[in-house]
Amino acid sequence: MAIVDVVDVTKIYALGDVEVHALRGVSMSIDAGEFVAVMGSSGSGKSTLMNILGCLDKPTTGEFRLAGELVSKMDSDGLARMRNRTLGFVFQSFNLLSRTTALENVELPLLYADVPAAERHRRAREALGRVGLGERMDHHPNQLSGGQQQRVAIARALVNQPKLILADEPTGNLDSETSIEMMTLFQELWSAGITIILVTHEPDIAAFAGRVVDMKDGRVRFDRRQQPADAKAALVESRAQRGASGEPDSAVQEAPA
Ligand code: ADP
Ligand code: MG
């Protein structure tokens, strides 16, 4: 079943008298359970596409269906409902609130969804456990490493049990080994059945996905499936190369039944 169905989508931004054609007719269908890396040089339309897939913006022309619903015809309330019910977002800059704890950051989407306090705490603790941060719930973002902050952001994206996670350059601010660690986490979420669409500049990161969509000048240049590299094995290799312990931590604990 396709979770994402994009048909001949265009996006034109009006900048004064100038029209910027950010997307020039993009079509793609993504099945539930896929892990897709979106690549392409700066300005090729990746973020514009992610904003549309994330129900943050609408196409100028063309159709977009998410989980079977025709998003491209929805009003802003409809878009907000789709975002809350179906999607989790992860950004390059983590976007955590600095004066609140990891736990409170993860609870935030549940606060917007009017989930009662006890249930919010329970679900946020569970999500933080799932990304390996069960011991760090009361830390503020500035007491956490970049990798740990991104794990908090991933827990926040997971707490509403989204069908689809959208990640725009989630490893862009992380060193290469921490980036691989983050990819072990995405691969574990993928194994758990979550659909993931992840934008990256780096071929080494795209190698961990099962499919690569390459954009150029607002069009899909190629779209192909591949045998994904194993992030856990890559992490062992990276640690061995710098002489560190070869055993990766288990990034993700099993979610309780
Ligand atoms: P990427 O994420 O691949 O770097 P973007 O989707 O951000 O590319 O941008 C695609 C094109 O659309 C670029 O030419 C960019 O300058 C333009 N663009 C993006 N957002 C806007 C906007 N809000 N207003 C005008 N032009 C924009
Ligand atoms: Mg971008």
Taking only the tens place, the pLDDT of each residue in 207-216 is 999 999 999 9
CA 187 to chain centre: 12
Report which bound ligand comes closest to the CA of 44. 1
Percent of the chain scoring above 70 in pLDDT: 95
Residues 91, 234, 102, 149, CA torsion sign: negative
> Which of 38, 46, 48 is the best mutation target for the ligand 1 pocket, counting ligand atoms within 8 Å of the beta carbon and taking the most?
48
What pLDDT is stored for residue 255 in this prediction?
46
Q: Is the pLDDT of residue 246 over 80?
A: no
pLDDT band at 245 (very low <50, low <70, confident <90, very high): low
Q: Is the pLDDT of residue 256 over 70?
A: no
Token representation of residue 172: 């862009």
Cβ neighbours of 133 (radius 10 Å): 23
d(CA 63, ligand 1 centre) in Å: 20
The stretch 32-52 carries a mean pLDDT of 97
Q: Is the pLDDT of residue 223 over 60?
A: yes
Helix (H) or strand (E) holding 122: helix 117-130
d(CA 44, ligand 1 centre) in Å: 8
Give the residues across from 13 on adjacent strands. Answer: 20
Q: Is the pLDDT of residue 10 over 60?
A: yes
Structural domain of 247: 2-254
Give the residues across from 216 on adjacent strands. Answer: 219
What pLDDT is stored for residue 257 in this prediction?
45
The stretch 43-72 carries a mean pLDDT of 96
> Which of 9, 10, 13 is the best mutation target for the ligand 1 pocket, counting ligand atoms within 8 Å of the beta carbon and taking the most?
13
Q: Is any ligand 1 atom within 6 A of the Cβ of residue 105?
A: no
What pLDDT is stored for residue 1 in this prediction?
81
Q: Is any ligand 1 atom within 6 A of the Cβ of residue 22?
A: yes
Q: What is the tens place of the pLDDT at every residue in 197-206?
A: 999 999 999 9
Token representation of residue 206: 């795209």
List the CATH number of the domain containing 202: 3.40.50.300
Helix, strand or coil, per DSSP, at residue 20: strand
Token representation of residue 177: 């080994």
Q: Is any ligand 1 atom within 6 A of the Cβ of residue 45?
A: yes
Q: Is any ligand 1 atom within 6 A of the Cβ of residue 172?
A: no
Can you tell me which residue has the tokens 């606060």? 111
* Pairwise CA distance, residues 203 & 201, whole Å: 7
169 touches 50 (CB < 8 A): no
What pLDDT is stored for residue 43 in this prediction?
95
Q: Is the pLDDT of residue 138 over 80?
A: yes
What pLDDT is stored for residue 251 in this prediction?
47
Q: Is any ligand 1 atom within 6 A of the Cβ of residue 150?
A: no
Q: Is the pLDDT of residue 156 over 60?
A: yes
What pLDDT is stored for residue 166 in this prediction?
97
Q: Is the pLDDT of residue 48 over 70?
A: yes
Residue nearest to atom 18 of ligand 1 (CA): 22
The stretch 104-110 carries a mean pLDDT of 94
Q: What is the tens place of the pLDDT at every residue in 163-195?
A: 999 999 999 999 999 999 999 999 999 999 999
Of 80-84, 222-226, 252-256, the range with the highest mean pLDDT is 222-226
Taking alpha carbons only, the member of 37, 55, 35 closest to residue 46 is: 37
Q: How many domains does the chain have?
A: 1
